[in-house]
Amino acid sequence: MAEARKSMIKIKPKKYKVGDTVKVDFIVIHPMDTGMQKDKKTGKIKPAHYIDNITFSFDGKPFTTMKVWESVSTNPYFSVKYKITGKGKITVDYTDNQGEKNSKSKKVKPKG
Amino acid sequence: MERRKFIQSMFAATAVAAIVTPTTIFAEEAKKAAKKGPNDMTFDEAVKAITEGKELKDSDKIKLTVPEIAENGAVVPVKVNVDYPMTEKESVTAIHILNTANGNARCADVMLTPANEEAYFATRVKLSKTQEVVALVALSDGTFIKAGKSVKVTIGGCG
């Protein structure tokens, strides 16, 4: 069953104002198994296990959605740009092909 | 057992064996062929699925940043910048990252909105061998543009 995955949202640069366009980076610790690798301990082929849907939203309004396949690296990193419109919360919801659902959010506090 | 019955049963057994053996071999081969990834797709199929047969042009508006030589194919950074306005009227609606030689040609589809302000996407992908990474960009007027760059991979990254 799904244990909470470690994930992180970074906003770059760290200091930003309303109207600035910032990079929103999302990193998650996930194996991203392709379904072709062998488990070194048991010698059996590991079933495919990868993130397939990601939604970036600001205060509940999605601004970027992604479909992802197994060709993305282990512990994936995704980066998009976003224009800051005010105070709020950026939330990233993600699901994987084995039905795990997780989400991570970060407060947006523009200065000035 | 009577001799006649015995011979008949022998014939039947060999006949069955003769029929069964080739089919089992074929079945094994089919299994081997099916031992690829769960959602394999060639590059051409992927392009067809995205563009649905619409025109696809090469464009220098897309700035695709990938390393020329990737020592480790398991982690290849890919960055896409599209020089195109992001307004309500005209915008980049999606960026698709594709590869030409992995089992599954599709890496990621990113649906963008005008709230993104700039058409930008960065990630890291796995590449099984030396091949091309292609960024396919869908524009709001229904046209598609693309840009590709080849990456030399010294150690493959698909297990």
Q: Give SS3 for A31.
A: coil
Q: How far is B43 from chain A (nearest CA, A)?
A: 13
Chain B residues with CB under 8 Å of A81 CB are 116-118, 120
> Contact at 8 Å (CB) between B84 and B120?
no
Q: For residue range A25-83, what is the model confidence (pLDDT) as tens digits?
A: 999 999 998 888 888 889 898 888 999 999 999 999 999 999 999 899 999 999 999 99
ipTM, 2 dp = 0.87
B115 in reach of chain A (CB within 8 A) = yes
Of B60, B138, B146, B55, nearest to B100 (Cα)?
Answer: B146
Type of residue found at B73 = G
Domain boundaries, chain A: 7-34+46-108
Q: What is the mean pLDDT of residues B20-41?
A: 58
Domain A7-34+46-108 fold: Immunoglobulin-like (2.60.40)
Model pLDDT, residue A72: 93
